[in-house]
Amino acid sequence: MAKEIERKFLVASAAYREMASESREMRQAYLSAAPRPTVRVRVCGSRGWLTVKGMNHGLEREEWEYEIPASDADRMAASLAGGWAIEKTRWIVPSEGWTWEVDEFHGRLEGLVVAEVEMPSADCRPPLPPFVGREVTGDTRYYNSSLTGGVPPTDIDSAL
- Catalytic residues, by residue number, are 30
Give the bridge partners for 86, in sequence order: 28
Cα(149)–Cα(33) distance, rounded to whole angstroms? 10
Q: Which of 108, 145, 98, 121 is nearest to 3 (CA)?
A: 121
Own/partner contacts of 133-138, CB < 8 Å, gap of 24 or more, are 133/9, 133/10, 133/11, 133/12, 133/157, 133/158, 133/159, 134/9, 134/10, 134/12, 135/7, 135/8, 135/9, 136/8, 136/9, 136/10, 137/6, 137/7, 137/8, 137/9, 137/59, 138/56, 138/58, 138/59
